[in-house]
Structure formats: C-alpha cells, structure tokens
Amino acid sequence: MALLIVCNLIANKFVTVDLGFLGFNNPFILSAGVLPYPLTFLITDVLSEFYGKKRTNRVIITGLISSGVILGVLWLGSVFPSIEGSPVNDDQYNIIFKNSWRVIGASMVAYLAAQLVDVKLFHFWKNLTKGKHLWLRNNGSTIISQFVDTVLVVSVLFIGVKSFEEIQLMVFDGWLFKVLAALLDTPIFYFLVYIGRKFFKLPSGQLVELKADLIIE
C-alpha cells in the first residue's frame, strides 16, 4: 500500500535515468512514480506464491480502494483556500496536486488491470510448470502485466496531450525499465520465497492456510 501511494504522489515529476553502464545509449524518460512501482509486482508475486490468487486479489482491491481514498483527500485539500503565511499556498498546492486526479485515475485503471493480469498469469505458469521454475512465473507474469500497465497509464494520461510518437517513446521507455527491474529482482524473489518457505515450514507449491479465511468463507 505504501509503495502504491508514494508512486501516485510522485508520478507528476518526469525524470531521466541513464543506464549507459548497461549498454543503453539513450537515457530513459520516466515518471518518478515508475522507479518504485516494479516492487509492487514483486510483492504481488510473493503474495501469490504463498497465499494464492484469491487472497492476493483481495490485496489488489484494497490497493485500489486506498488510491480512491487518497484521491478524495487530495480533492478535499484543494477545496479550502490557504491562509496568508501558509507554507504551501494554493498555487503551489495546485502545481503539485492539480493533475493528481488524472494521474491517480490513470494509475487506478492501469493498476487494477495489470495486477489482476499479473496474478492470473503467475498462477497459469505455476500450474503449467507444476510449481517449478520460479523465474518463469515471476518474470513471465510481470513482463506482460507491466506492458498492460504502461500502455494504459500513459494512454489515459497523454492521449490528446502529446503526439503519438511521444506516447510510443514513453510506453517503450517505461515498459523496458520495468522489464529490467523485473529481471533484476528475480534473485530477490527466490530469496523471499526461500525465507518464506522456511518460516512457514511449507513444501514447494503449498499455500499458507489462514484460519481467518475459514471464518470468512
């Protein structure tokens, strides 16, 4: 939830990220919100591994509701005019947050679609490989779902605002950066799964059983 919230709050700032040391000639043009965003997919994959599709989807819906609450709070902050001497005046507030409804709205649409796709694909690969090849379900689900996320969020934000060529470049840069992040976090995923299985004393492929779920069901 914390990562999702901060991604939305810093998404209005666009930055360049130079990965020349990896062989990329041109820097990536990204929303600052893209920088921590791949971690949300890593967390979703870890939750899927231990708690299954149904419980992970509950977390995703909770994230969507959280984004909606934040959107309401930001709107509320704009309704009341600032007083004289306020550290942040109305103009400064609007510069940072005026476009947040569109950013968070785009993020909510993209987040819901991409995370649900990620969970579905994760379990598709898990079932297909009979619980083997962690790297395949981690990267296979994330790479496709991140493409869905990037296309949706950039399209909602910039169709009618920027040219098709600019949108294409932003989609490509955002998606490629997320793919690289997904590949780099694969060892972290393996480590977290290893630690989790040791902690819960679970054999490979088995889910954590929650008594609370039995009550809810």
Q: What is the pLDDT of residue 187?
A: 93
Count of the separate structural domains present in the chain = 1
Instruction: Determine the 3-state secondary structure of 15 from DSSP.
Output: strand
Instruction: Determine the 3-state secondary structure of 192 from DSSP.
Output: helix
Q: Is the dihedral of CA 63, 180, 186, 133 positive or negative?
A: positive
* 1 falls within a domain: no
* 27 falls within a domain: no
Q: What is the pLDDT of residue 159?
A: 82
Based on DSSP, count helices (H) and strands (E) in the chain, helices before strands: 8, 2
- Per residue in 177-213, pLDDT tens? 888 988 888 999 999 999 999 988 888 777 887 655 4
Which of 44, 29, 18 has the alpha carbon at shortest distance from 123? 44
Residue 100 banded pLDDT, cuts 50, 70, 90 = low
- Per residue in 12-39, pLDDT tens? 788 888 888 878 888 888 888 888 888 8
Q: Which residue has the tokens 């991140």?
A: 146
Task: Note the pTM of the prediction, 2 decimals.
Answer: 0.79
CA 4 to the chain's CA centroid: 6
CA angle 105, 171, 164 (to 5 degrees): 95
Which of 181, 39, 216, 189 has the alpha carbon at shortest distance from 126? 189
* 22 falls within a domain: no
In angstroms, the CA 193 to CA 178 distance is 21
Q: Which residue has the tokens 């169709």?
A: 159
* 47 falls within a domain: yes
Which of 16, 29, 38 has the alpha carbon at shortest distance from 147? 38
* 64 falls within a domain: yes
In angstroms, the CA 153 to CA 151 distance is 6
* 8 falls within a domain: no
Domain that holds residue 110: 39-216
* 2 falls within a domain: no
57 touches 122 (CB < 8 A):
no
* 85 falls within a domain: yes
CA 118 to the chain's CA centroid: 10
Q: What is the pLDDT of residue 215?
A: 42
